[in-house]
Structure 1
Amino acid sequence: MSSIEELITGTAVGIKASDGVVLAAEKRVAYGFTMFSRSGRKVFRVNDNIGIASIGILADMQVLTKIAKAYMSLYALDTKTRPSIRSAAKLLSYVLFSNRVFPYFVEVLVGGVDDEGPHMYIMDALGSLIEDDYAAVGTGNKLAIAVLEGNYKQGMNVKEARELAIKAINQSISRDPVSGDGIDILTITRSGSTEETIPLQPLRL
């Protein structure tokens, strides 16, 4: 296992629904196979319409979230409008690429709802930017993406997307030793965002 792989551990998923976006991640903090905490937070609310789910070094996740919050607040103050999801994603993509020599050890999902509807973007540690309907990042991504691939449907609502996100994270927790200890979920719709934490659930296939 390389040093980068040792630092970017855990599992996060993002799902775009017809009426919003669901971002979710498990709570275990580990570097390599050494566990440091069972109560880490990897899902962050930027504002009412934008959220971030990330895996990697917690400090790097927190710094990127603070950058996004600051710039999105300034954008809203200057323009008197809500920033687009692509604006937030492009900002973080630029930050990650600008620090590529000494990179942030993260993989990032940015999602939310703007005037054009729901959007979800995926980024690696160097800022590569892709928009998609669903994604999984981290050491448990192969397990989680199998659930997403087999169960995602165009037009599903946020309630269905939430249940699918839980199922995908539980699948990664069941086999990935550095994923576990519960799930944080951020659900974003046109009416705002809600955050919740649920305990570890048994896998249901």
Structure 2
Amino acid sequence: MAALFGQDALTDNGPGYAFSQAPSSAAGGIRERSFYPYTDNGGSTLGIAGEDFTILAGDTRSTSGYNINTRYAPKVFKIGGDDSEGTNATIILSVVGFAADGQILKERLDTIVKMYRYQHGKPMSVKACAQRLSTILYGKRFFPYYVHAILGGLDEEGKGALYSYDPVGSYEREQCRAGGAAASLIMPFLDNQVNFKNQYVPESGEGHALQERPRVPLKRKETEELVRDAFTSAVERHIEVGDGLQMLVVTKDGVEEIYSPLKRD
């Protein structure tokens, strides 16, 4: 180890470097050193839009590799409330990936939505906020926020609205979406239970003649149980998910926060 930090560890005439990737020397003495500004802090989020509500949920574990940084790092937030606690907020946001980028993105969007309220005397609609978030992400496309964002709220008709994004601002309105470390485990479950994919009426036919199950909007309590089931299953299979489950539920009465414990190992 002493040689690694010594005078001639990696160079002939200068101090050594402890980079994970040693400088490479090419013809003419040119050296290349790499820099990667991102990290993945683990965790997962999901969102479900109901008939008159929207739920965003995320676990509270933050990791770096095999290390747990903290067991309580929220990934779902109220946007555009009257104060720092998000009082009277009507929009919610989840971010998962690089925690620092997620925090900055959340604070930037929160500031924009609050300024809109002060300037126009009314809250920003979730549709307008979804477009604004897309613009923010696209504006950083050459050095993007390393996060998977999901935005939720109620639309002009009072129905649940959910928008999912890629890191450079492309987005679409969906019924449900999962993101983060355990997205590949949770999304098939949501496709089946929320989007009713591969669900058929028993004894309604044979082969391709089977009748699909009617797509009835889920009730709030039923949806909350689905969210808990999804994360309970994910923590059994993924080490970067766990500790606690935080849910934000948007209804016509406001935003309600629900916390449930998850496995801590």
- The answer to whether the superposition gives a TM-score over 0.5 is yes
CA distance in 1, matches of 2:107, 2:54: 21
Q: 1:108 to 1:154 in 2, by over 3 A?
A: farther
Aligned to 2:184, what secondary structure does the other structure show? Answer: helix
What's the offset of the Cα at 1:12?
0.3
Q: 2:150 aligns with which of 88, 109, 114?
A: 109
Structure number with the higher helix fraction is 1
What's the offset of the Cα at 1:8?
5.8
Residue pair 1:8, 1:107 contacting (<8 A) in 2 also? no
Q: 1:5 to 1:175 in 2, by over 3 A?
A: farther
Q: 2:190 aligns with which of 148, 165, 183?
A: 148
Residue pair 2:38, 2:98 contacting (<8 A) in 1 also? no
How high is the TM-score relative to the length of structure 2?
0.70
Greater relative CO (CA pairs within 8 A, separation 6+): 1
Q: Which amino acid counterpart does residue 32 of structure 1 have in structure 2?
A: G
Q: 1:69 aligns with which of 82, 86, 110?
A: 110
Larger-gyration structure (1/2): 2
Identify the residue that residue 35 of structure 1 maps to in structure 2.
68
Q: Which runs of 5 or more residues in structure 2 are unaligned?
A: 1-35, 82-88, 195-214
Deviation sequence 1:113-168 (CA, Å, 0-9, x none): 13233200001211111110000001201111122122115411222222111111
Q: 1:135 to 1:154 in 2, by over 3 A?
A: farther
Q: 1:175 aligns with which of 237, 240, 252?
A: 237
Q: 1:133 aligns with which of 154, 175, 187?
A: 175
Range moving further from structure 2, 97-106 or 71-80: 71-80
Q: Which amino acid counterpart does residue 138 of structure 2 have in structure 1?
A: F
Aligned to 1:110, what secondary structure does the other structure show? Answer: strand
CA distance in 1, matches of 2:136, 2:111: 13
**Once superposed, what is the RMSD of the aligned Cα atoms?**
2.0
Q: Which runs of 5 or more residues in structure 1 are unaligned?
A: none
Q: 1:33 to 1:84 in 2, by over 3 A?
A: same
Identify the residue that residue 129 of structure 2 maps to in structure 1.
88
Aligned to 1:107, what secondary structure does the other structure show? Answer: strand
Residue pair 1:8, 1:106 contacting (<8 A) in 2 also? no
State the identity %: 28
Residue pair 1:19, 1:157 contacting (<8 A) in 2 also? no
Structure 1 residue ranges (4+ consecutive) displaced by more than 6 angstroms after TM superposition: none
Q: 1:41 to 1:126 in 2, by over 3 A?
A: same
Aligned to 1:7, what secondary structure does the other structure show? Answer: coil
Structure number with the higher strand fraction is 1
CA distance in 2, matches of 1:38, 1:162: 22
Q: 2:220 aligns with which of 146, 150, 158?
A: 158
Identify the residue that residue 59 of structure 1 maps to in structure 2.
100
Q: Which amino acid counterpart does residue 11 of structure 1 have in structure 2?
A: S
Q: 1:166 to 1:5 in 2, by over 3 A?
A: farther
CA distance in 1, matches of 2:166, 2:104: 16
Aligned length: 200
Q: Which amino acid counterpart does residue 235 of structure 2 have in structure 1?
A: I
